Amino acid sequence: MTPPFNTPPAHPHPTTVNIRTLRAVVFTTDHRVIGIQYLVLALISVVIGTLLSLLMRIHLVWPNWPLPLHGPILPEDYLALVTIHGTIMLFFVLTTAPQSGFGNLILPAQIGARTMAFPALNAASFWLTAAALVVLLGSTFVPGGAAISGWTAYPPLSAITSAGPGQALGMDLWLTSIALFAIASTASSINTLTTIIRNRCTGMTWERLPLTVWGWFTAALLSIIAFSVLLAAILLLLCDRHAGTSFFLPNGDLVNGILHKGGNGSPLLWLHLFWFFGHPEVYIAILPGMGLTSMLLANFSHRRVFTYRTMIATTLLIGFLGILLWGHHMFVAGLNPFASSAFSISTMAIALPAAAKVLSWLATTWRSRPSYKTPMLFALGFVSLFITGGLTGPILAQPILDEYLHNTFFVVAHFHLIMAMAGVFGLYAATYYWFPLLTATRNHPGRLLSEPLGHLHFWCTLLGAYAVFLPMHLTGLAGEPRHYAQLTGIPGPGGSLSPAGALLSHTLPLNQFITYAAIFLATAQLVFLFNLTHSLRKGKFASSNPWRATTLEWHPTMNPFTLLTASDTPEMSVHRAPCHYQSNKSEVSFLPQWEPIPLAQDEIEDATDTKPE
C-alpha cells in the first residue's frame, strides 16, 4: 500500500553543473532545504555565542589574561561580549533553530502538508535572518565598537550616540540587525500560522495535532504580537537617535556634557515596549521544546501523552499569560508599586499551567520502563532543567524578593537554566530524534547519530549545565550583580579597596569553579560536533520509522529529504491523535496516525485522558 522507502524519482535531474546546484540551494523555496539553512545558521551562531561566553567567564576570574590578537579585555569589550552573546543566543539560536529550523523541516510533514503556505516568503525570511546575523557580526568591527548596552538596550544610554563606546554606529547596526530579524520572524510566523491553519491533511483535526505543532502554533502567535511591538519600538528609538524626536528622552537629560533639550519622553516607555516583546520572546524560545518533550516522553515510554487536551490548553494558556506579565522585569525600574503587585500576580499565575505540564510529563513516564535512546535522555534532561530553572521563577515574581535579587547572578542562573539550557536540550533532543529526516537524500535513507557518543554527550552536558548554573544562584544571593566587567580590585571613591570591592571579591572562588565548569561544558559539545560530522557521512542507516513514532513526519513517503513530485505522494489522511501505544506483558505495539486499521483499544481513543495510557 505505501510505496517502499525512497522510491527513486522517475526522471532524475541531470547531475553535474555546480552552478545550478548552488543556485538551487541558495535560492531554494523548498521548506526542507530552508530548514537546514536555518539550522546551519543557528549552528554557526551557537558556536560564536559559546566562544563569547567563555571569554566572559575567563575574563571574570583571570582579568589580566590578554585575548590573542586583541590584548587585555577592556570594560567596553566585556560589555560588547555580553551584548553580542545575549543577542546571538536568544535570537539566532533559541528563536531561529526550534521555530524556523525544525519548524520548516518537520512541521509541514507533521500535519500532512506538502509545503509551507508561502514558499517564497519563507526563503525571503531566511535571507533576511541571515542578513540580520551579518549586520550583527559586522557591528563588532565598526569604529566606536559594538553595542554595549546589553540585549535590552535601555535608553538614554542607547538613544544618545555620545553616551559612550558602542552607542554610535555599533548601536545603529545592532538596532538594524534586530529590526531585520523582527521582520523576518514576523513573516516566518505568518507562514507557520497559515500553514497550520490551511494545509492540514484530511482527518488532522485540532485535537489530533501533535503537541509540537501546538508549540509552534503558539510560538508563532506570540512572535507576531511581540516582534511587531519590538519593531515599532526600534523605529521610535532610531527616530530619537537621528530624527530629533524624544520618545524615550526626558527634557534636560545631560549625557557626557551634552544637554538634550526637547520633548518630554520617558525611558520607561522603552522598558514597557521592550519587555512586552522580551518576555513572550522567552516563551517563543521554549514552547516548541515543551511540545517536543511531551511527544518524545510518550514515544519512548510507549504511552499516550497524559492529559493530551489539557496539554493543548496549557500551551495556549502559557502563551496568553506570557503576554500579560512583562512588568515583572520592571519591579525596581520606576514602576508604580501597585502595578508591580498586578504583574506579580499574573506572573505567579503562569506557574500553574507550567506545573500542569510538569505533572503530565511525570505521569507519562511514571512506571513506564522507557527505552533510553539519546532523544529520550535529552527530553528527560529538558524536564529536569525546566523544573530546576522554573522553580526560581516564582521567587523572582515577588517584588519584595526581586528588590534584592534583580540584576544579580541569581536571575542569570534562573533564565539560563530554564530558557538557555532547557531550550538547548530541546534542540539536542530534536537533532538526535529527527537526524534521519535531516540526512535522507534521494540516493540513500537517513542516518542515525551514534548512540554511545550521544549518551556521553548527554551526561557531560547535563552535569556541565548544573555545574555552571547552580552555583550562580549562590553568587547572586551573595550580591554579585550582572554586567560587571570586573569583580576584584574595584577601586572605591577614595582609591582604596571599597566596601563594594570587598563585597564583590568574596564570590571569586565560586566564580573560578563556574568558569572551570563552563570550559568543561563547552568542551563536551565537541563530542556532539564530532558525532554530527562523523554520522553525517558514516552514520548507521535508519529504517523508515526508527523510533516507532506515530506522527506523520515518519510516514514512509514523508521520509525522503528531497522534494517529491506530487504524483509520488499519495494523499495522506489521519485517523487518530498521536502517541497511541498498547502494551501487554511482553510486547508493545504502536498505531501511527496514518494507519487506518483500528485496534480494539482504539475505540476509546479520547476517553483515555483519565489514565496515563
Partner 1 sequence: MICSRLTSACLPSLWIDRAAIHSPWLLPADASAHGPALDHHLLLNLWVALALLTLAHLILLIGLFARRHSEPTRLWRIEYLPLTVLALLFASLTLKAERLWAASRYTGASPTALQVEVTGVQFAWYFRYPGPDATFGITRPSLVAPGEGNPLGLDPSDPHSADDQVTSQLVLPANREVDLRLRAQDVIHGFSIPEMRLKQNAVPGQTIHLHFTPTTPGTYAILCTQLCGLGHYRMNATLLILPPNQFATWLAAKQKAAP
User: What is the DSSP annotation of 159-184?
Assistant: T-GGGSTTSSHHHHHHHHHHHHHHHH
Kindly indicate which of the ranges 33-41, 44-52, 236-244, 248-256 contains the residues binding partner 1, using the contact rule CB under 8 A. 248-256
- The yes or no reply on residue 339 touching partner 1 (CB under 8 A) is no
> Among residues 124, 131, 235, 387, which is the contact residue for partner 1, using CB under 8 A?
387
Are residues 529 and 40 in contact, defined by beta-carbon separation less than 8 angstroms? no
Residue 112 Ramachandran class (φ > 0 left, ψ -120 to 50 alpha, else beta): left
Binding residue for partner 1 (CB under 8 A) from 35, 49, 215, 267?
A: 267
> What is the C-alpha to C-alpha distance for residues 324 and 343, in angstroms, rounded to an integer?
8
Residue 179 C-beta: closest distance to partner 1, Å: 21
418 belongs to the binding site for partner 1 (CB under 8 A): no
Instruction: Tell whether residue 384 is a contact of partner 1 (CB under 8 A).
Output: yes
**599 is a site residue for partner 1 (CB under 8 A):** no
Name the nearest CA neighbour of 2 among 559, 565, 589.
559
User: Number of residues in contact with partner 1, rule: CB under 8 A?
Assistant: 109
Q: Which is nearer to partner 1, 332 or 536 (CB)?
A: 332
Which CB atom, from 204 or from 298, has the smaller least distance to partner 1? Answer: 298
Task: Report the C-alpha gap between 13 and 246 in whole angstroms.
Answer: 58
CA distances from 89 to 84, 85, 93, 95, 219 (A): 8, 6, 5, 8, 17
269 binds partner 1 (CB under 8 A): no
Cα separations (Å) of 303 from 214, 293, 364, 574, 596?
Answer: 19, 13, 7, 19, 19
Which of 14, 16, 68, 367: binder of partner 1 (CB under 8 A)?
Answer: 367
Among 172, 253, 281, 553, binds partner 1 (CB under 8 A): 253
Nearer to partner 1, 314 or 559 (CB): 314
Exposed/middle/buried for 351, CB within 10 Å: 0-12, 13-18, 19+?
A: middle
**Under the criterion CB under 8 A, does residue 610 sit at the interface with partner 1?**
yes
Query: Which one, of 144, 156, 137, lies nearest residue 84 by Cα?
Result: 137
Say if strands 253-255 and 580-583 run parallel, antiparallel, or are unpaired: unpaired
Q: Are strands 258-260 and 66-67 parallel, antiparallel or unpaired?
A: unpaired
- For 183: left if phi > 0, alpha if psi spans -120 to 50, otherwise beta; the answer is alpha
Residue 33 is inside which H or E element, if any? helix 31-61
Exactly one of 407, 441, 443, 589 binds partner 1 (CB under 8 A); which one?
407
Among 114, 442, 482, 548, binds partner 1 (CB under 8 A): 482
Is residue 299 close enough to count as binding partner 1 by CB under 8 A?
no
Q: Residue 247's closest CA among 281, 224, 273?
A: 273
Nearer to partner 1 by C-beta: 360 or 439?
A: 360
C-alpha cell at 423: 531550550
Q: Does 346 bind partner 1 (CB under 8 A)?
A: no
Residue with grid cell 525596581, as numbered in its chain: 332
Q: How far apart are CA 158 and CA 148, in angstroms?
A: 9
- In the range 499-538, which residues lie near partner 1 by CB under 8 A? 499-504, 506-510
Among 226-234, 275-283, 362-370, 423-431, the segment contacting partner 1 (CB under 8 A): 362-370
Kindly give the residue spans of alpha helices, DSSP state H, lying in 397-498: 399-405, 409-415, 422-439, 451-477
Q: 127-166: which residues touch partner 1 (CB under 8 A)?
A: 148-150, 152, 154-157, 163-165
> Using the rule CB under 8 A, is 562 a contact of partner 1?
no
Binding of residue 352 to partner 1 (CB under 8 A): yes
Lay out the site mask for partner 1 across 86-105 (x = CB under 8 A, - = otherwise).
--------------------
Nearer to partner 1, 19 or 254 (CB): 254
Candidates 101-109, 172-180, 230-238, 379-387; binding stretch for partner 1 (CB under 8 A)? 379-387
- Interaction with partner 1 in 304-333: which residues (CB under 8 A)? 307, 310, 332-333
Q: Of these, 262, 394, 546, 556, which contacts partner 1 (CB under 8 A)?
A: 394
List 122, 218, 408, 450, residue binding partner 1 (CB under 8 A): 408
Q: Rounded to whole angstroms, what are the CA distances from 601 to 79, 258, 365, 608, 610?
A: 59, 76, 20, 10, 15
Residue 8 or 491: the one with the smaller Cβ distance to partner 1 is 491
The verdict on 224 binding partner 1 (CB under 8 A) reads no
The neighbouring-strand residues paired with 581 are 590
Binding partner 1 (rule: CB under 8 A), the pick from 483, 526, 530, 536 is 483
The distance in angstroms from the start CA to the end CA of the chain is: 29
Query: What does the block give as the cell for 176?
Result: 538594524
* Of 12-20, 245-253, 427-435, 591-599: span binding partner 1 (CB under 8 A): 245-253
Among 79, 285, 421, 527, binds partner 1 (CB under 8 A): 79
Which range touches partner 1 (CB under 8 A), out of 115-123, 456-464, 484-492, 594-602? 484-492
